[in-house]
Chains A and B, each alone.
Chain A
Amino acid sequence: NAGVTQTPKFQVLKTGQSMTLQCAQDMNHEYMSWYRQDPGMGLRLIHYSVGAGITDQGEVPNGYNVSRSTTEDFPLRLLSAAPSQTSVYFCASRGGGRETQYFGPGTRLLVL
């Protein structure tokens, strides 16, 4: 099992550009989430999904879109990047009825 994988590892964007952060898991987990980590702010939930076709907003959803067409994949889209979106982004997954969340290695995003 590869667990939770994220691509790219690092990305530089210019303000206004769009991009998609990829997340995939091979554990057949129902629940997937996106977090952003900023210094002194901990981990904040952006969006989450409880299964294919079902998504919902977390604590800081503005500026981000998600979709879940398959169990395995949960991409995060930035439609028009802003410097405030400079952060480290983590994807996580959890099996139904289980509590442990498994995190990916993260994507470091710099918006200039």
Chain B
Amino acid sequence: QQQVKQSPQSLIVQKGGIPIINCAYENTAFDYFPWYQQFPGKGPALLIAIRPDVSEKKEGRFTISFNKSAKQFSLHIMDSQPGDSATYFCAASNSGGSNYKLTFGKGTLLTVNP
């Protein structure tokens, strides 16, 4: 049972474009939704995260949109740059479980062409 479904698997955009990565979850107990960014040969690093009490969160060029009723959330990257080329993972966890055990999506490989 895949609790967090992520799409697309891969995405290619031109510099300045706005890539959008989507995730859907099933467990309504999830209450923390982070996005991780991973460069080749490196470990994932937290990029931005949201809780379900807000519908949108912005940090610099990165925005999370959250739709609680649809159980979906998405990452938008404004004015994308070649340096944004990486694999992006969405994740979800239930803080009520006390250990914030993360369930990850399968990842999206983003390529931003110059």
The smallest C-beta distance from B22 to any residue of chain A, in angstroms, reads 15
Please give me the residue from chain A that is nearest to B100 by CB atom: A99
Interface size of B by Cβ–Cβ distance < 8 Å?
Answer: 24
B58 at the interface (CB under 8 A from A): no
Report the stretch among A12-20, A37-45, A62-70 that lies at the interface.
A37-45
Secondary structure call for the B interface: loop
B43 A42 Cβ-Cβ under 8 A:
no
Given contacts A43-B104, A99-B34, contact A90 B44 (CB under 8 A): yes
Q: How far is the CA of A45 from the CA of B44 in the complex (A)?
A: 14
**Looking at the complex, which one of B41, B45, B107 makes contact with A103 (CB distance below 8 Å)?**
B45
**Looking at the complex, which one of A33, A44, A99, A101 makes contact with B95 (CB distance below 8 Å)?**
A99
Q: How far is the CA of A101 from the CA of B99 in the complex (A)?
A: 11
Please give me the residue from chain A that is nearest to B93 by CB atom: A99
Given contacts A99-B32, A99-B49, contact A42 B44 (CB under 8 A): no
Chain A residues whose C-beta falls within 8 Å of the C-beta of B44 in the assembled complex: 43, 90, 103
The smallest C-beta distance from A13 to any residue of chain B, in angstroms, reads 20
Chain B: residues with CB nearer than 8 A to chain A?
6, 9, 32, 34, 36, 41-46, 49, 89, 93, 95, 98-102, 104-107
